[in-house]
């Protein structure tokens, strides 16, 4: 099936809202469509899935090989890929992993979403620059966003006309199409009971303002997939999944299940006992928002401690913090965690840690070389024990070792994406 990429000159141009509106509109009209997200992101894919009813995968041009991307992009549906940041923005110093890289790898056209709120004729050199910057990245059409009036739209269209690029839509400003956010981005899709109504408003907005037939007609065939899957780290894998533990890349779960692994979800917030498994995973999420409930989940706590005597346990980011001795929330109150690692973390003094990571572990269920990323505001107030990962940043410069391991328990703030 074909695909296309929705990108923009910069963050804040409205990519996510336009993408969700388009996905919902096409799905509502009976089209076979699904979303994908460029780069590392847990929150937007859940919104894509809510818009279409189909899982959304991440396609990461920095962390995944060309073969991996082609394999994961393969679908029987029309694939709408939402870009990240600006079209050519990626990792330092050369922009590797950008949406433009993904367009080159998949040979897909780019639809440029432009925030036109504060411009008129100046839109022409902006669009021309993006369209001509790289001949391997084909800008196939424009969607004008945050347009003030019909007169404003007409001025923008006249300015763009000499460039020979079709204007596929002109979308008016809509104050009712903003989403609540918190420190790691938008609130999670599963937290909002009003989300279906929002999706329908966005779909109505896109349907009224865009030529959907002309837009989807620009989609191009995806490259033929090559089998390339992550082997499961164990045969029976239990994964924590609830509001506190929701950041996990779907391509990993799908690969493991396709290889025959049994994946069992459980909820620490519901105080579930840890299922019988060969590997227990606590993903990232928002444990800082639910620290009192986690601390009070005695059945979960006791069963995890007992399980750690005989079974590998692995935590990523939020899950890593829960494996520690304590987690201090933003109000300065410490909460006892599982105590399986000598680790204390705090949100009382927040600091952003952000970037791609090259990782290598000698021990644990994820031994070997990986590519991943780090994105959190927690600070480590104390950490004692053997480190889990040797780490480098996206440019290959050495970073301090990441994570801890103690017995069969290990974890770090890094989110692994794919094997290096």
Comparing C-alpha atoms, which of 309, 235, 296, 233 is closest to residue 268?
A: 296
136 phi, psi to nearest 5 deg? -85, -5
Give the distance, in angstroms, between the CA of residue 304 and the centroid of all CA atoms in the same chain. Answer: 28
Confirm if 404 and 383 have CB atoms less than 8 A apart: yes
Exposed / middle / buried, residue 115 (Cβ in 10 Å: 0-12, 13-18, 19+) = buried
Token pair in block for residue 5: 């990429």
The question of whether 317 is a catalytic residue gets the answer yes
236: left (phi over 0), alpha (psi -120 to 50) or beta: beta
Helices (H), 35-80: 43-52, 66-73
* Longest Cα separation, the chain: 70
Give the distance, in angstroms, between the CA of residue 273 and the centroid of all CA atoms in the same chain. Answer: 29
Confirm if 252 and 230 have CB atoms less than 8 A apart: yes
- Sequence-ordered list of residues with C-beta below 8 angstroms from that of 384, at least 6 positions apart, any chain: 342, 343, 404
Look-up of token digits 């336009």: 18
Hey, which residues does 182 pair with through a beta bridge? 185
Token pair in block for residue 92: 């330092």
Active-site option among 57, 230, 317, 340: 317
Catalytic residues: 317
């Amino acid at each position: 099936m074909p695909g296309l990429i929705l990108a923009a000159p910069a963050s804040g141009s409205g990519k996510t809202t336009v993408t969700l509106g388009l996905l919902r509109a096409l799905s509502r009209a009976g089209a076979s469509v699904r979303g994908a997200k460029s780069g590392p992101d847990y929150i937007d894919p859940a919104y894509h899935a809510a818009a279409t009813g189909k899982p959304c995968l991440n396609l990461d041009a920095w962390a995944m090989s060309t073969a991996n991307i082609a394999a994961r992009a393969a679908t029987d549906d029309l694939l709408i890929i939402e870009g990240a940041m600006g079209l050519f923005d990626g990792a330092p110093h050369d922009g590797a992993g950008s949406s433009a890289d993904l367009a080159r790898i998949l040979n897909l056209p780019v639809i440029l979403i432009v925030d036109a709120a504060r411009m008129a004729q100046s839109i022409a050199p902006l669009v021309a620059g993006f369209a001509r910057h790289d001949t391997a990245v084909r800008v196939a059409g424009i969607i004008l966003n945050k347009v003030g009036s019909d007169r404003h739209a007409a001025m923008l269209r006249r300015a763009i006309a000499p460039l020979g690029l079709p204007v596929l839509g002109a979308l008016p400003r809509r104050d009712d199409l903003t989403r609540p956010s918190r420190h790691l981005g938008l609130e999670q899709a599963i937290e909002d009971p009003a989300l279906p109504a929002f999706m329908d408003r966005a779909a109505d907005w896109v349907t009224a303002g865009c030529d959907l037939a002309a837009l989807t007609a620009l989609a191009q065939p995806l490259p033929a997939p090559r089998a390339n899957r992550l082997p499961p780290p164990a045969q029976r894998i239990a994964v924590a999944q609830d509001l506190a533990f929701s950041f996990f890349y779907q391509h990993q779960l799908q690969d493991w299940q396709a290889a025959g692994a049994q994946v069992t979800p459980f909820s620490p917030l519901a105080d579930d006992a840890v299922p019988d498994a060969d590997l227990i995973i606590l993903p990232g999420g928002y444990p800082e928002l639910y620290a009192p409930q986690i601390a009070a989940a005695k059945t979960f706590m006791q069963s995890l401690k007992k399980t750690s005597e005989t079974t590998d346990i692995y935590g990523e980011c939020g899950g890593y913090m829960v494996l520690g001795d304590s987690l201090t929330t933003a109000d300065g109150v410490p909460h006892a965690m599982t105590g399986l690692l000598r680790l204390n973390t705090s949100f009382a003094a927040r600091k952003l840690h952000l970037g791609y990571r090259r990782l290598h572990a000698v021990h644990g269920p994820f031994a070997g070389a990986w590519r991943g990323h780090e994105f959190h505001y927690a600070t480590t107030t104390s950490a004692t024990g053997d480190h889990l990962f040797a780490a480098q940043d996206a440019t290959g410069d050495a970073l301090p070792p990441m994570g801890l391991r103690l017995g069969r328990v290990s974890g770090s703030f890094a989110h692994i994406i794919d094997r290096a």
